[in-house]
Amino acid sequence: MADKLKLALYWTASCGGCDVAVLDINEKILDVVEVADIVFWPVALDTKYHDVEAMPDGAIDVCLFNGAIRSSEHEKMARLLRNKSKTLIAFGS
């Protein structure tokens, strides 16, 4: 089997409903983990900023970035995840 996709999920200034909706798919999340390793998702995993910093640039295949950037912390995380991700998909409000 080919290497699994490396997936990251992150939310900034939003209600968090999009991330919770992912959790609400219940056991169907197992279909996702068959093809992807979730390498960063603070809602569901105990991963920290320094864990992402330690990753080589481009180590994440796809990052789903949810919410508005309203603070310098949000901007710092957006820039970091953009550098670490081959593709960053921004969505949500």
Predicted pLDDT at 47: 83
Cα distance from N-terminal residue to C-terminal residue, the chain: 37
pTM of the model: 0.81
Predicted pLDDT at 93: 63
Predicted pLDDT at 69: 92
What would you report as the CA-atom Rg of the chain, rounded to the nearest whole angstrom? 13
Dig out the tokens for 84 from the structure.
């670490």
Domains in the chain and their CATH numbers?
5-91 (3.40.50.700)
Q: How many helices (H) and strands (E) does the chain have?
A: 4, 4
Burial of residue 7 (CB within 10 Å: 0-12, 13-18, 19+) is buried
Predicted pLDDT at 42: 85
Q: What is the mean pLDDT of each run of 10 residues along the chain (93 residues)?
A: 86 70 68 87 84 97 93 95 97 75
